[in-house]
Amino acid sequence: MSGTVTRLTLRIDLPNGARLGPGKVALLAGIAEHGSIRAAGAAMGMSYRRAWLLADEINRMFLEPSIFTRHGGKSGGGAGLTPFGEALLACCQRMEAAARRALAKDIGWVEGMIDPGFAPAEKASKAPAED
């Protein structure tokens, strides 16, 4: 297992059909860090269009918007998190940390049972298809 780390992800499927998962949380964190939807998306290897569509979806999921934008001008454009967006990001980060703590023992057990010779299907060499 050289260089790889077990990763736990949290996705919340809300009753209104919206989903809040690691991609949207990472985008919120990226916008907070970079001050730009474009830069946050680029840091994630995502096109500006995809990042903008996710940001728009995040803003429509809740009663309050999470992301604000500033149009260009002398000081240039950009984006940031609203107070609700900051609270949402902090809440998601707390939930992820609590889940990691609560599941640490079980994750450790699962890691101990890993077959080091296993290769996922997309990485495994092509084998004859089974019927």
Residue 96 pLDDT > 90: yes
* 67, containing H or E segment: strand 67-70
User: Domain containing 80: what range?
Assistant: 17-112
Nearest by Cα to 108 from 8, 3, 2: 8
In a domain, residue 1? The reply is no
- Measure the CA–CA gap between 93 and 90, rounded to whole angstroms: 5
pLDDT at 74: 63
In a domain, residue 41? The reply is yes
CATH code of 84's domain: 1.10.10.10
In terms of pTM, does the model score above 0.85? no
The total domain count for the chain is: 1
In a domain, residue 99? The reply is yes
With tokens 């940031």, the residue in question is: 80
Instruction: Let me know how long the chain is.
Output: 131
In a domain, residue 12? The reply is no
The first and second tokens of residue 7, run together, are 């990763």
pLDDT tens, 20-38?
A: 999 999 999 999 999 999 9
In a domain, residue 8? The reply is no
